[in-house]
Amino acid sequence: EAGVAQSPRYKIIEKRQSVAFWCNPISGHATLYWYQQILGQGPKLLIQFQNNGVVDDSQLPKDRFSAERLKGVDSTLKIQPAKLEDSAVYLCASSTSGGSSPLHFGNGTRLTVT
């Protein structure tokens, strides 16, 4: 079984620029998550999708972050404009049935904002 795929692996941008991350979940996984992991901390949920609908985006800074999951498969997370504090690893995860089954994570995109 192929794992969760994410790209790019690394990204360096200047503040106020925009950036996008892509995620392809495990085939058949209906639930998709984006997490932000700041160095030294545990992952923090940004947004959760069930198929192509948003289940929870309460911790997504909507003035600058947006995410979509067209067709209920792949997903993109965008930041525009980026701030220095957005420097983090952005992790995508998927699962078969929300919070009652393990999440499978990709290796993340490491974003550095200078």
Partner 1 sequence: GESVGLHLPTLSVQEGDNSIINCAYSNSASDYFIWYKQESGKGPQFIIDIRSNMDKRQGQRVTVLLNKTVKHLSLQIAATQPGDSAVYFCADPSGSARQLTFGSGTQLTVLP
Quickly tell me which residue has 């995410």 as its tokens: 67
- 17 or 74: whose CB is closer to partner 1? 74
35: which 2 tokens?
């997490």
- Collapse the DSSP code of 18 into the 3-class scheme (helix H, G, I; strand E, B; otherwise coil) and give the result: coil
Quickly tell me which residue has 């290796």 as its tokens: 107
> In the set 24, 108, 111, 113, which binds partner 1 (CB under 8 A)?
108
> In the set 8, 15, 68, 98, which binds partner 1 (CB under 8 A)?
98
Asked if 6 contacts 92 with a C-beta cutoff of 8 angstroms, the reply is yes
Measured CA to CA, the distance from residue 29 to residue 100 in angstroms comes to 13
> In the set 11, 21, 43, 65, which binds partner 1 (CB under 8 A)?
43
Binding characters for partner 1, 54-93, by CB under 8 A (x = yes): -xx----------------------------------x-x
- 27 or 58: whose CB is closer to partner 1? 58
Note the residues at the interface with partner 1 (CB under 8 A).
4, 33, 41-45, 48, 55-56, 91, 93, 98-100, 102-108
